[in-house]
């Protein structure tokens, strides 16, 4: 793989210590290979549009890779081992993502869940925290493919937020004090990348659910 290796911390204030961004961490050929692997996996675990516990549809379509997958429906948020519509197990996590986790997080166990979110030009994700995992010490690693997203992040306890653009091939991590940071996607810059055949942005979020 043609991978850049130098970590590039984005935030410098103490409230977000533990948030890291590696711009262009995946080179273009590696992005294309990962895209093809994920699209092939999605034929076995098709994207679907979940709803919140209150019944409101998400604006993104979702699927999962790995032993467990994050799902949302009227019963609540949780991890489970099967696709909610097909009942089949989730496909495995591609090796390139497992390698990124090992190289960048330093966490001793591999991820056991990879959430796949597909954003079209109109999709958004409100500010939220990743807190459905049993061990909130384990980091969260996120890989961006396709169109650039305007990502917003703020400290877990509230206060002001900051925004940064996440382009195709960028990798970011929530760890340490920033593990429970509030974060979301304000908008997608449609047409900023030609990586995905139908456009949009794909986000791959690696977690330790157990």
Residues 1-56 pLDDT 10s = 444 444 454 444 556 899 999 999 999 999 999 999 999 999 999 999 999 999 99
Q: DSSP letter at 50?
A: -
Q: Is pLDDT above 90 for 110?
A: yes
202 close to 118: Cβ distance less than 8 angstroms: yes
Q: Where are the domains of the chain?
A: 8-207
Residue 13 pLDDT: 54
Q: Work out the mean pLDDT of the chain and round it to a whole number.
A: 93
**Residues forming beta bridges with residue 4, ordered by sequence position:** none
Residue 205 pLDDT: 98
Q: Is pLDDT above 50 for 162?
A: yes
Q: How far apart are CA 34 and CA 53, in angstroms?
A: 32
Q: Averaged over 85-100, what is the pLDDT?
A: 98
Q: How far apart are CA 16 and CA 10, in angstroms?
A: 9
Residue 5 pLDDT: 43
Q: Averaged over 160-180, what is the pLDDT?
A: 96
Both tokens of 69, joined, read 């997958």
**What global pTM score does this model have?**
0.92
- E strand or H helix at 127: strand 125-128
Q: How far apart are CA 55 and CA 74, in angstroms?
A: 6
- E strand or H helix at 30: helix 28-44
148 close to 108: Cβ distance less than 8 angstroms: no
Phi-psi category of residue 197: left, alpha or beta, with phi > 0 → left and psi -120 to 50 → alpha:
alpha
- E strand or H helix at 29: helix 28-44
Q: DSSP letter at 118?
A: E
CATH for 8-207, among 2.40.50.140, 1.10.420.10, 1.10.3720.10, 2.60.120.590?
Answer: 2.60.120.590
Both tokens of 43, joined, read 């034929």
Residue 133 pLDDT: 97
């Amino acid at each position: 793989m043609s991978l850049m290796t130098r970590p590039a911390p984005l935030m410098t204030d103490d409230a977000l210590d533990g948030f890291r961004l590696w711009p262009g961490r995946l080179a273009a050929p590696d992005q294309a290979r990962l895209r093809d692997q994920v699209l092939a996996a999605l034929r076995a675990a098709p994207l679907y549009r979940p709803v919140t516990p209150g019944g409101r549809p998400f604006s993104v379509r979702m699927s999962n890779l790995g032993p467990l997958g994050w799902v949302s429906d009227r019963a609540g948020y949780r991890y489970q081992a099967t696709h909610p519509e097909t009942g089949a197990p989730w496909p495995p996590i591609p090796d390139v993502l497992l390698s990124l986790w090992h190289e960048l997080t330093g966490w001793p166990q591999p991820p056991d869940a990879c959430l796949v979110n597909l954003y079209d030009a109109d999709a958004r994700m409100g500010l939220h925290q990743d807190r459905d995992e049993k061990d909130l010490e384990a980091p969260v690693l996120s890989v961006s493919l396709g169109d650039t997203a305007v990502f917003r992040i703020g400290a877990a306890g509230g206060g002001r937020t900051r925004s940064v653009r996440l382009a195709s091939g960028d990798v970011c991590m929530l760890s340490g004090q920033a593990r429970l940071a509030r974060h979301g996607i304000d908008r997608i810059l449609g047409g900023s990348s030609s990586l995905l055949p139908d456009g949009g942005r794909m986000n791959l979020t690696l977690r330790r659910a157990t």
